[in-house]
C-alpha cells in the first residue's frame, strides 16, 4: 500500500459521553468518535429496493480520537462561534487538489455539470472547478443539519484531506453556501456493483481470479489504512462502496469518517442485501465487542458476490426483514467449494470462507488476511487492471464521468 504521507497525529482512545464538545481555543482537537458516528460521505448507489434512508442518530457510546489538524484555523474558526457565525462559516474554503496545489475557493468557483445522485440529506453533483479545470463530485448537505454538524463536516473533510492512501477516495475540501455544506471529492466512474452486473448480465462473463485478487488487495489496503492510521472501522463494506475507473484504480468510499457507522440493515427493505456480520444483527451481542472482523465478514460477502455474480444468500426466498436477519444470524454462512465452484483456486476458496466464519474469534483480522496466500499472490502478480477494465468500459458506452455515477446518502 502506498502511504507516502503521514496523517494527522492520533493520540489515545478514551471513553466519551454522547455529543460533541469542541474547544475552539484548543489546538484543533475534537471528539471524532461522536462526530463520525453521525455523518456519512457517500458514493455507492443504493439498491433499487433500498429506499429507506438511514437514521443519523447518536450512538449511546462513542470513542474519543483527539486530532491535531493544523489546517483548522485556516478555514475561519474563531474562538467564539455563535449560531450566526456558523451559518456563514467556510463561505471561502481551501481546495487542495494535491500537496502542492491549493486554491482559495467559494461555491461560485464551481460549475455545476449536473446531478448524479440524491438522498434525503442532499445531492451529489458533478462539478468543475473553473480555475483548475478539475472535475469532481460535490456532495451538497442540506442546511437542515444543525450548526454543530456543519462544524463537524468541515473538520471531517479536513481529516480526510490529509489522508494518503491510493485506495481511498480523495477529499479536496469543503465550503458553505447559503447554509448548505458542499464537500468536494474525487469523482470515479462506477461502482463494482454496477460493473459486475454489466459484466455478468450483459456480457455473460465473469471476473478473472487475478482481477478479484486486485479488488481484494485494494479493499484490504483501504480498510487496514482506515483502522491503523485513523482508527476508523468502515461498517458498510459492499460492492456499491468500492469504486472503479478506466485507469484501473479501485477505491473505497462511504466510510462516513466513522468508527461507529449507521448499520446497513437499519435502512433495509425487503429485498435489500444484508452485508452485516451476524454479531452486529444479534441483539444479544454487545456493540462494544465489535472490531475489524465485522468488516471482514462484509468483505467476505462482497468478494463472494463479485466472484459469483450474485448475492451469496438466497434473496429470492426472503419476503420479510425477519427472514433476512434470521438467515444471517441462525443459518449457515455462504461457502465456496471445489465441487460446486471448480473455477476458483483453493487459495481463493479458502480466503472467502475464512472471512465468513460465524464465530468472531475464528474470523481473521486484516493483518492475517494480508499474509494470506491469495493476497500475497495478488501483491506479487501486479496485474494490469486498466487493460482489463478499459474494453468493458468502452462497451458500457460511458464517458469518463457518466451520469449514472453511483451515489447513496
Q: Is 319 marked active-site?
A: no
Return left, alpha or beta for 272; rule: phi > 0 is left, psi -120 to 50 is alpha, else beta. beta
Using only the alpha carbons of the chain, give its radius of gyration.
21
Burial 164-203 (b: 16+ CB within 10 A, else e): bbbbbbbbbbbbbeebbbbbbbbbbbbbbbbbbebbbeee
Catalytic residue among 34, 109, 193, 236: 236
Cell of 44: 455507492
Distance CA 369, CA 296 (A): 9
DSSP structure string for 270-325:
TT------HHHH-TTS-GGG--THHHHHHHHHHHHHHHHTS-SS-GGG--SHHHHH
Q: Is 286 exposed, middle or buried (0-12, 13-18, 19+ CB in 10 A)?
A: exposed
Distance CA 94, CA 115 (A): 23
Q: Is 139 annotated as a binding residue?
A: yes
DSSP assigned state of 123: E
Burial 142-160 (b: 16+ CB within 10 A, else e): eeebebbbbbbbbbbbbbb
| Cα-based angle 353, 357, 358 (whole degrees, multiple of 5) | 145
Cell of 403: 451520469
Cell of 290: 465489535
Cell of 280: 452486529
Q: Name beta bridge partners: 102.
A: 96
DSSP assigned state of 333: P
DSSP assigned state of 84: H
Which residues are catalytically annotated? 236
Question: Residues at the annotated binding site for ATP?
Answer: 139
- Binding residues, as ranges, are 139
Amino acid at each position: 500500500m502506498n502511504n507516502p504521507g503521514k496523517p494527522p497525529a492520533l493520540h489515545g482512545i478514551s471513553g466519551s459521553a454522547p455529543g460533541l464538545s469542541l474547544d475552539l481555543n484548543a489546538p484543533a482537537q475534537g471528539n471524532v468518535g461522536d462526530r463520525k458516528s453521525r455523518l456519512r460521505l457517500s458514493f455507492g448507489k443504493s439498491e433499487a429496493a433500498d429506499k429507506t434512508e438511514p437514521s443519523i442518530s447518536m450512538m449511546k457510546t462513542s470513542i474519543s480520537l483527539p486530532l491535531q489538524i493544523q489546517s483548522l484555523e485556516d478555514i475561519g474558526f474563531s474562538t467564539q462561534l455563535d449560531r450566526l457565525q456558523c451559518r456563514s462559516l467556510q463561505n471561502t474554503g481551501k481546495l487542495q487538489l494535491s500537496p502542492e496545489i491549493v486554491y482559495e475557493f467559494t461555491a461560485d468557483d464551481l460549475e455545476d455539470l449536473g446531478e448524479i445522485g440524491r438522498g434525503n440529506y442532499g445531492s451529489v453533483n458533478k462539478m468543475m472547478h473553473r480555475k483548475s479545470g478539475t472535475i469532481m463530485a460535490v456532495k451538497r448537505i442540506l442546511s437542515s443539519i444543525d450548526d454543530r454538524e456543519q462544524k463537524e463536516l468541515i473538520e471531517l473533510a479536513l481529516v480526510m484531506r490529509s489522508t494518503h492512501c491510493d485506495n481511498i477516495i480523495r477529499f479536496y475540501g469543503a465550503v458553505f453556501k447559503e447554509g448548505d455544506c458542499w464537500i468536494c471529492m474525487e469523482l470515479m466512474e462506477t461502482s463494482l456493483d454496477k460493473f459486475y452486473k454489466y459484466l455478468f448480465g450483459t456480457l455473460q462473463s465473469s471476473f478473472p481470479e487475478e482481477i478479484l485478487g486486485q479488488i481484494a488487495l485494494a479493499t484490504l489496503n483501504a480498510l487496514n489504512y482506515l483502522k491503523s492510521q485513523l482508527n476508523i472501522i468502515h461498517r458498510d463494506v459492499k460492492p456499491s462502496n468500492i469504486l472503479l475507473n478506466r485507469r484501473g484504480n479501485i477505491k473505497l468510499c462511504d466510510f462516513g469518517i466513522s468508527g461507529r457507522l449507521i448499520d446497513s440493515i437499519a435502512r433495509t427493505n425487503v429485498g435489500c442485501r444484508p452485508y452485516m456480520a451476524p454479531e452486529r444483527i444479534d441483539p444479544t451481542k454487545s456493540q462494544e465487542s465489535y472490531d475489524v472482523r465485522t468488516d471482514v465478514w462484509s468483505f467476505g460477502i462482497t468478494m463472494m458476490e463479485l466472484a459469483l455474480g450474485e448475492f451469496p444468500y438466497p434473496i429470492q426466498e426472503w419476503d420479510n426483514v425477519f427472514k433476512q436477519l434470521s438467515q444471517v444470524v441462525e443459518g449457515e454462512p455462504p461457502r465456496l467449494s471445489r465441487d460446486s465452484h471448480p473455477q476458483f483456486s483453493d487459495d481463493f476458496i479458502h480466503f472467502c470462507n475464512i472471512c465468513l466464519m460465524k464465530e468472531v474469534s475464528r474470523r481473521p483480522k486484516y493483518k492475517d488476511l494480508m499474509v494470506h496466500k491469495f493476497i500475497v499472490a495478488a501483491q506479487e502478480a501486479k496485474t494490469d487492471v486498466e487493460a482489463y477494465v478499459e474494453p468493458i468500459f468502452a462497451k458500457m458506452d460511458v464517458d469518463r464521468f457518466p451520469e449514472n455515477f453511483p451515489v447513496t446518502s
